[in-house]
Amino acid sequence: MSAPRIGLLFGSFNPVHVGHLILAEHFATRTDLAEVWLVVTPHNPFKEAKDLLPDTERLRLVELALAGNPRLRAEAIEFDLPRPSYTIATLDALRERYPEHDFVLLMGGDNVSGLPRWQESARLLAEVDIYVYPRPGTALPDLAAFPRLKVMAAPLLDISATYIRESLRVGKSIRYLVPDAVEAVLASRQASA
Ligand SMILES: Nc1ncnc2c1ncn2[C@@H]1O[C@H](COP(=O)(O)OP(=O)(O)OP(=O)(O)O)[C@@H](O)[C@H]1O
Ligand SMILES: O=C(O)c1ccc[n+]([C@@H]2O[C@H](COP(=O)([O-])O)[C@@H](O)[C@H]2O)c1
């Protein structure tokens, strides 16, 4: 029997939103993947750590958002790895911990053009399949440099964590943009701030 293929959606999830969930469900049910794991990144090497919700809170919100879906799970392995969080290092650690799995990297279209600047990008691009969910407003580069990358045909989702944070900042509703349980936690956080 071939190894179960697991999709890894890395992200800051600051906070998790329905775009992440629709994308993860798409990959988990419309591709050859058995499961999708949302890998919560404490510190993206390309982002300022100061704008982030605490990492344990981002993880808790992802866990709440995924509750009850057996094909999606939250993964906290990067909490125990050196920072900033380099995807190749995490992939190595996951392969060591789960030798029975075949991992596939998942990402939105906005991340593709930066891939050549990622740590050990040549090894990363050579070693894993990459499935991309298209994202509005982001053009894909020439894909000849990414022979193991596939772009999915899927409905575009014009929603981002930036929009959720901005909505919270100006007191606008985030209902339906995040799961109800996530909205409740963020609302009580606002109220006590
Ligand atoms: N609406 C979307 N369409 C396609 N991909 C998405 C979408 N939202 C998030 N992603 C992808 O999910 C992964 C994690 O994203 P991330 O946690 O950075 O969310 P974000 O909405 O892009 O956040 P921010 O607005 O803070 O940059 C990335 O690969 C990103 O490209
Ligand atoms: O490995 C790298 O060099 C690298 C460079 C930039 C981004 N990443 C990862 O890409 C993921 C998406 O990041 P984000 O913050 O846009 O959700 C996150 O897990 C980052 O750690 C990884």
Q: Which residue's CA is the closest to the ligand 2 atom numbered 18? A: 11
Can you tell me which atom of ligand 1 is nearest the CA of 110? 31
- Residue 48: pLDDT over 90: no
The chain-wide mean pLDDT, for the chain, equals 95
CA-closest candidate to residue 141, choices 159, 123, 127, 121: 121
For residues 20 and 13, the answer to whether their CB atoms sit within 8 Å is yes
Q: What is the pLDDT of residues 108-158, one digit of tens each?
A: 999 999 999 999 999 999 999 999 999 999 999 999 999 999 999 999 999
More confident residue, 45 or 185: 185
3-state secondary structure of 3: coil
Q: What is the pLDDT of residues 13-37, one digit of tens each?
A: 999 999 999 999 999 999 999 999 9
Distance 99 CA to ligand 2 centre (A): 23
Q: What is the pLDDT of residues 107-120, one digit of tens each?
A: 999 999 999 999 99
- Residue 49: pLDDT over 70: no
Mean pLDDT to the nearest integer, 92-106 = 98
Which numbered ligand comes closest to the C-alpha of 151?
1
More confident residue, 20 or 85: 20
pLDDT of residue 1: 66
- Cα-Cα-Cα-Cα torsion 133, 110, 186, 49, nearest 10 degrees, comes to 140
Cα-Cα-Cα-Cα dihedral sign, residues 83, 24, 63, 178:
positive
31 burial class (0-12, 13-18, 19+ CB within 10 angstroms)?
Answer: middle
Alpha helices in the chain (DSSP H): 18-30, 55-66, 87-97, 121-127, 161-169, 180-192
Which residue out of 41, 43, 55, 75 has the highest number of ligand 2 atoms within 8 Å of its CB and is therefore the one to mutate?
41
Can you tell me which atom of ligand 1 is nearest the CA of 157? 1
